[in-house]
Amino acid sequence: MITPSFHNAVVTGACGGLGQALARALIDRGARVALVGLQRPALETLASLAPGRCAIYQPDVSDSLAMQAMAADWMGRFGTPDLVIANAGVAGGFDTAQAGDLAVMRRMLEINLLGVATTFQPFLEPMRTSARRGALVGVASVAGWRGMPGNGAYCASKAGLIAYLQSLRAELRPTALRVHTVSPGYLRTALTAGNRFAMPGLLEPGEAARRLLAGVAAGTEHIVLPRRIGWLARALGLLPARLHDRILLGQPRKPRAGEPGATEIPGIRKP
């Protein structure tokens, strides 16, 4: 296994299962880590592991001005990062027939898609002009590979993110920066706790973080966690569309906002 050697990292969504695991792994390896999230107690627990190497930030990741202020403060105190992981994300079921769900879709796009661009933007030029190699990591999802019934907002946000990361990767080819797309399947986190359907290949956050960082260190541009869920998704994708849809329609739907098992989506603006 290749041991990651990142010295200065920014992790958004550091309160969640994967984000916490990533932050812990980086802290354990001696990196300085900007902990970005909304739940201060969770961030304080992480920061206590290395008080002199961590800072806590609580911006809305879709707020470009707040993210620019966070980046300026971090770089003023700790320097330019060599690793930025845009991990913040939300999930939830979606029904186009329900007017209230349009606010859910808007917010999901703001966090899952726009939030990655607002995370990268203030660091991009400083990292590009740095003498060191650097990595920009966007956490997408296997759900972005194909739309699934009852999950249109989440699938759309992750599909858009995959396309955005492809564009950014092409733009940065001539530079020392590398763009990595991470497509997890099912991780044992709060985002999947309310799922009522089978979750093949369910992976623990700590193991997912280890594989993610090893993949980035190895230069892998497309990281699927775990690999076998990617093989399963691709195999299903070979089926005729009608048969594929029939299989998915037979599965329980992901809980919508307000239903039992649904995860909170912060900042939803009701119509």
260: number of Cβ within 10 Å: 7
Secondary element (H or E) of residue 34: strand 32-36
Burial class (CB in 10 A: 0-12, 13-18, 19+), 141: buried
CA distance 193 to 198: 12
Rg (CA), the chain: 18
Quickly list DSSP for 178-213.
Answer: EEEEEEE--BSSTTTTT--S--TT-B-HHHHHHHHH
Q: Which among 22, 62, 54 is positioned nearest to 38, based on CA atoms?
A: 62
154 is catalytic: yes
CA distance 205 to 221: 20
Structure tokens given for 122: 């203030």
Structure tokens given for 103: 């606010």
Which are the contacts of 221, defined by CB distance < 8 A and separation ≥ 6? 169, 178, 179, 180, 181
| Residues noted as catalytic | 154
